[in-house]
Amino acid sequence: MQAAVRRTRLRPLQSLLSSRTILHHHPPQNNTPAFADCGARGVAIETAVGVRISQQKNDEFAIIKEKTRQLLERPKKHRDPFIKNLFLKKIDPTILEYPEVRQDEMDELMNQVEPIANRVKEVDPEKIDKNGAITEDVLTGVRNSGGFVHRIPRTHRGNDLNMVGYTAVVEALSLEGNMSLGALAYTMGSWSARTLEKHGTEEQKAFYLPMIATGEAAFSLCVSEEKTGSNVAAMQTSVRLGEDNRGYLIKGKKSWVINAPNTDYFIVIAKHQGLGEDVKYSDPERQFHQDKRKTGSMSAFIVPKKAPGVTVGQLKPFIGLRGLQVSELILDDVPIPLDYLIGKTGDGFGIAMEAVSMERHVMGAVLLPLLKKLIDQAAKYVSDRHVFNRPLSDFHMIRDKLTEAAYLVYALESMTYLTSLLIDTTIKPEFDLESAAVRAFAADIAPRVVRNLMEIYGASGVTHDRSFDQALRDILTFSDIDGGTDVARLYIALSGYQYAGLAQLSDIQKLSNPFAHPQAALRRSLQSLGIKRAAKRTVYLDDYVHPTLQNFAYMLETCCTEFGQCAEGLLYEYNKDLVNRQVELKQTAEMATLIYASFAVLGRCSRAYCVGMKHNKQEMNLAALFFYYAKRRIHSIWEEIGSGPDVKGRESMMHEAAVHMVTERSYGWVNSDSEPISESRFGAVESRAGPCVEYIRDPTPGVTRIDDSGDSGVCSESESTNLIPIRLGARIVKTFP
């Protein structure tokens, strides 16, 4: 995949339009507004469906025949979720095989990717950032090249690409650092078109999907609200039945709607009025049923932009990805027909979560072209730049920064395409945690890569000529486009612990009652004290890689063992309270992410070395460097979680420091009338009188010192060189301007 994408990037520019014919669809003439007459609208949809189905009838048999041939030639496998099984100390070594793409599939994919890549190379990302919008001619060119048909079935004028093809197309749309264009394609494909294709009725699919494929209509997903944040269940947008139960009325406000000014239809998640009202339950069941009612009272609806009561608010541009044109959507009792419901009543929460989480690993493909471009520029710079009569590339520190950027991007690329390959080759894939891991890893390493490359340039790296300004803004914005990196980490950890908790429920129940099960309690106590046998090898990863990589396979087994110990220990120690241990959840999610990335890197470089791919030695070096990086980090987290008292002491100090700042509503001991104690203002701080008193050597006369007891004094010219006693937490007040 890497070689194929590289070939695409190096080929000369070709025609703007693909040689493949794009089938255009024209909407029916009786396209009655949805809000005018529900019955007439239903007739219009029914007529349009009949026309479209009759036009596609002759092609369906050929498509089914082609799909059958592909399934027969490449049967899918049953695979358990990888990261979830890590929480149970189960490892699937077959993931190291790193599934390949057949040559005929690769050729077909390249035929679709090349026109898109050639068109995107002509787009200037700096111009998009400056104008704050993607121009219509750019969208038209990309649309005619097949850039927005990737997740739509062929029966509805799409390309019906698999996940690998979709990932490659999104990466092609992001070439030359065009993250706004790639992000727009990702949101339109994964959030909107995929939602309609998976949950829409046959009539909705037949009517809307061809319009998306041919560019006649654009969709945007509306979930977030400013006051609710990540708590989707607390949304305020409501929906109720209209008069005579002939339609729905939606009222509320949605925030951060992507591409809202250019959107024709919105997929709105709203909460039903009258559903989920309080009923009597026993106390142990009350919270469960309250949460169930909150999530089960939401539904998804198609809302036309031209419907009465729909208002697109003013633009609220992000600091980056300025081409997305983000704004609010105001819904004031918007009437829509009954058949505009997506899925079933109460499915809205699941639809929203699935739309955002199932394919988020594709976000890694949006970042890859920008990071590769910056690395290419830095590599040329260190080759041409000379310092002290030596090339800049001769300095070890420069090599370290450049190489670190390379192996982190190599790991991101490996796990991005591995996730897509696993989804394509698995029967009923459940890789939502793997997808979230790619998304979290991308958000972690991208700013680090850019920072390393900026330091290579020195002072010129912080000028506008190097385009790091836009790169950093785009990356930081992209990291929060779907809810934030910390939310993704918590999703990984909580889902994994829930999966493990259900599988180990009997053992957890035994440990919760040690008097009834003393043997289990004693065994667990000995394990917590470290009095246990060495862990036995349950899987031999070295059997699945090239012999030269055996040492890295052993290292990876050790990392999996350490992760299993941390996950099991935290689950048994905190049980249900683990949901409130967010620091530990974040740490275990990071460990799982690094392990998954290590499997992807090991499998990819082993395959490249075995088949003799070009530059396979470079891949081996990058893989080895990433392994050392991941192993150090995983072992560090393992030691920190296992330290026990140190963790609790650190947690206590963090709690006290945070409570103090929140109480003071400031940095700590600073308020509007005082200044902090600092070495830059008062010189060195020396301790003389125990833990409660400090002495400050104050070089500045005319300063009033006030401690907690109320004692105060003014420093004179002669006293300014003496040690001044002051209690910890005292305020230093400047008396003279």
Say what the pLDDT of residue 111 is: 84
pLDDT band at 505 (very low <50, low <70, confident <90, very high): low
- Lowest-pLDDT range, 93-97, 128-132, 287-291, 333-337? 287-291
pLDDT band at 434 (very low <50, low <70, confident <90, very high): very high
DSSP states of 14-77 as a string? --SS-SSPP------TT---TTT-HHHHHHHHHHHHHHHHHHHHHHHHHHHHHHHHHHHHS--B
Give the whole-angstrom CA distance, residue 496 versus residue 585: 10
DSSP 684: -
> Edge-to-edge strand order for the sheet containing 731-734?
712-714, 703-706, 731-734
pLDDT band at 144 (very low <50, low <70, confident <90, very high): confident
Task: Read off the tokens for 632.
Answer: 């150090």
Smallest CA-to-CA distance from 236 within 297, 160, 320 is with: 297
CB under 8 Å, gap of 24 or more: what pairs does 8-15 form? 8/110, 8/113, 8/114, 8/117, 8/172, 9/117, 9/175, 11/114, 11/118, 13/118, 13/121, 13/122, 14/114, 14/115, 14/118, 15/115, 15/118
**Which of 76-80, 225-229, 366-370, 536-540 is the most confident on average?**
366-370
DSSP 703: E
Q: Which residues of 455-474 are buried (b: 16+ CB within 10 A; e: fewer)?
A: ebbeeebeeeebbbebbbbb
Say what the pLDDT of residue 205 is: 92
Q: Where do the CATH 2.40.110.10 domains begin and end in the chain?
A: 218-357
Task: Read off the tokens for 64.
Answer: 């089914």
pLDDT band at 416 (very low <50, low <70, confident <90, very high): very high
Contacts of 686 (CB under 8 A, 6+ apart): 694, 695, 696, 697, 723
pLDDT band at 460 (very low <50, low <70, confident <90, very high): confident
Give the whole-angstrom CA distance, residue 597 versus residue 591: 10
For 300, phi then psi, to 5°, come to -110, 140
Amino acid at 311: T
Overall size of the chain counted in residues? 737
| Whether the predicted pLDDT of 593 surpasses 90 | yes
**Which of 90-104, 393-407, 524-538, 570-584 is the most confident on average?**
393-407
Say what the pLDDT of residue 150 is: 75
Amino acid at 349: F
Average pLDDT score over residue span 557-580? 88
Task: Read off the tokens for 387.
Answer: 């310092």
Task: Read off the tokens for 695.
Answer: 């002495």
- Across the chain, what does the average pLDDT equal? 78
Contacts of 113 (CB under 8 A, 6+ apart): 5, 8, 165, 168, 169, 172
pLDDT band at 70 (very low <50, low <70, confident <90, very high): low
Contacts of 138 (CB under 8 A, 6+ apart): 123, 128, 181
Burial class (CB in 10 A: 0-12, 13-18, 19+), 637: buried
Smallest CA-to-CA distance from 598 within 534, 553, 566 is with: 553
Say what the pLDDT of residue 296 is: 62
DSSP states of 302-329 as a string? EEETTSTTEEEEEE---SS-GGG-EEEE
Measured over the CA atoms of residue 136, residue 137, residue 139 and residue 140, the dihedral's sign is positive
pLDDT band at 295 (very low <50, low <70, confident <90, very high): low
Place of tokens 């699935």: 354
Average pLDDT score over residue span 195-212? 92
The model's pLDDT over 656-681, given as tens digits with 9 standing for 90+, comes to: 888 888 888 888 665 444 455 444 44
Angle subtended by helix axes 616-642 and 396-424, to nearest 10: 90
pLDDT band at 642 (very low <50, low <70, confident <90, very high): confident
Top-confidence residue, 624 or 233? 624
Give the whole-angstrom CA distance, residue 588 versus residue 267: 35
Angle subtended by helix axes 485-503 and 432-457, to nearest 10: 140
Say what the pLDDT of residue 227 is: 82
Say what the pLDDT of residue 160 is: 80
Say what the pLDDT of residue 443 is: 94
pLDDT band at 532 (very low <50, low <70, confident <90, very high): very low
Say what the pLDDT of residue 600 is: 96
Say what the pLDDT of residue 104 is: 78
Give the whole-angstrom CA distance, residue 299 versus residue 282: 28
Judge whether 132 and 317 are in contact, CB under 8 Å.
Answer: yes
Top-confidence residue, 598 or 612? 598
| Whether the predicted pLDDT of 273 surpasses 80 | no
Predicted TM-score of the model (pTM): 0.79
Say what the pLDDT of residue 698 is: 46
Average pLDDT score over residue span 55-84? 64
- Lowest-pLDDT range, 133-137, 303-307, 537-541? 537-541
Rounded alpha-carbon distances, angstroms, from residue 477 to 272, 367, 481:
32, 12, 6
| Whether the predicted pLDDT of 86 surpasses 70 | yes
Write out the CATH class of domain 218-357: mainly beta
| Whether the predicted pLDDT of 341 surpasses 50 | yes
Give the whole-angstrom CA distance, residue 696 versus residue 178: 54
Determine the distance from the C-alpha atom of residue 123 to the mean position of all C-alpha atoms in its chain, rounded to a whole number: 26
- Per the DSSP assignment, residues forming a β-bridge with 732 are 675, 705
Say what the pLDDT of residue 288 is: 47
Place of tokens 């983000």: 326
Rounded alpha-carbon distances, angstroms, from residue 401 to 341, 382, 453:
52, 11, 7
- Lowest-pLDDT range, 317-321, 446-450, 721-725? 721-725
% of the chain exceeding 70 in pLDDT: 72
Q: How many Å is the maximal CA-CA distance in the chain?
A: 100
| Whether the predicted pLDDT of 272 surpasses 70 | yes
Average pLDDT score over residue span 351-366? 90
Say what the pLDDT of residue 691 is: 44
Determine the distance from the C-alpha atom of residue 595 to the mean position of all C-alpha atoms in its chain, rounded to a whole number: 17
| Helices vs strands, H then E, count in the chain | 24, 16
Give the whole-angstrom CA distance, residue 81 versus residue 503: 14
| Whether the predicted pLDDT of 415 surpasses 90 | yes
DSSP 187: I
Judge whether 267 and 298 are in contact, CB under 8 Å.
Answer: no
Rounded alpha-carbon distances, angstroms, from residue 122 to 114, 174, 688:
13, 12, 68
Say what the pLDDT of residue 433 is: 95
Beta-sheet pairing, 238-241 with 265-272: parallel
Give the whole-angstrom CA distance, residue 93 versus residue 85: 12
Task: Read off the tokens for 724.
Answer: 């001044």
Q: In a 3-state reduction of DSSP, which class is residue 195?
A: helix
Say what the pLDDT of residue 7 is: 43
Q: In a 3-state reduction of DSSP, which class is residue 220?
A: strand
- With vertex at residue 356, the alpha carbon angle to CA 351 and CA 359, rounded to the nearest 5 degrees, is 110
